[in-house]
Amino acid sequence: MGKKKSLASWLGTAGFTVLCLAWIAPIIIVLYDSFKKRAFISLEPFKLPTAETFAEFENYITAIDRYGFMDAVGWTVFITVGSVAAILICTSMCAWFITRVNNKITKAIYLLCVFSMVVPFQMVMFTLSLTADRLGLGTPWGIIIVYLGFGAGLAVFMFSGFVKSIPIEIEEAAMIDGCTPLRTFFSVVLPIMKPTYISVGILEIMWIWNDFLLPYLVLDTNKYKTISIVIQFMKGSYGRVDMGAIMAALIMAVIPVIIFYLAAQKHIIKGVAAGAVKG
């Protein structure tokens, strides 16, 4: 019995190792291709750089200087931070309200939030683009409102499930001590919801940072470009593609997300475990 378990464990480890390598391989290929000269990226995409093909940091300099990559990073950071902050604060308060005020209106709001996760984005993207244009939301601060609408469904669903596990007696004790509803939320409820805040925040950050379609439809791309849009614009006219700059830009776009995810990994596990135990 022990040998069978050991064999099964070894096979499982080997299988997941191969699966992890399969996921990591494309990132590694893009990484060393970003240090190749443009002509050799398409000719020898899977070969390591040699003395002949090595381009040093030329592709990274091109992406930054010619295509304005750092400006795109600035707008992407602004949109991501602003959108995630708005989603976390607004949806957590909404989830707390609809959970504690249990009536037909709050139930309808909750069902609408859940239903929004089912509706495909392609169904509303043309009307969304027209509405955003008419309301003047084609700016980095205007698109935050759009992201709040699209990110609310999942966030309200997750926050509501966690709020149901918080004993209402804690909030009642705070109100007896003289706390207003807002102070009760920010001083008592919000700290308890920290694991869910972190889990939802990480999911939203990874979505908004890598999103291409929504900024492309809403933003005025003549003035504002996110990282995804800049990478798309590196494909020039007549089928000309600056593969070197694209590879370098992809690496610079991926590295912050990887660092952030690794730094917050333990918090994701804590958030999932807390929700599982309390639910």
User: Per-domain residue ranges for the chain?
Assistant: 2-58, 67-233
Per-residue pLDDT tens digits for 249-277: 888 888 888 888 787 777 666 655 554 44
Q: What is the mean pLDDT of residues 186-199?
A: 87
Question: In the predicted model, what is the mean pLDDT of the chain?
Answer: 84
Does the pLDDT of residue 73 top 60, yes or no?
yes
67-233 CATH, one of 3.20.20.70, 1.10.3720.10, 3.40.50.10880, 3.40.50.720: 1.10.3720.10
Q: What is the pLDDT of residue 95?
A: 92
The mean pLDDT value for 203-223 works out to 88
Q: Could you give the CA distance from residue 21 to residue 28 in angstroms, rounded to a whole number?
A: 10
Residue 212 to residue 235: CA distance in whole angstroms: 15
Mean pLDDT score, 110-136: 85
What is the full DSSP assignment across 212-278? -HHHHHHS-TTT---HHHHHHHTB-GGG-B-HHHHHHHHHHHHHHHHHHHHHHHHHHHHHHHHHHHH
Q: Provide the strand spans (E) within the chain.
A: none
SS3 (DSSP) at 210? helix
- C-alpha dihedral sign at 146, 149, 151, 155: positive
Q: Tell me the angle at which helices 58-65 and 243-278 cross, rounded to the nearest 10 degrees.
A: 80
Give 215-255 pLDDT, tens digit per residue: 998 988 888 899 989 888 887 654 567 788 888 888 888 88
Give the per-residue pLDDT at 92.
93
Q: What is the pTM of this model?
A: 0.83
**Residue 89 confidence class, pLDDT cut points 50, 70, 90:** very high
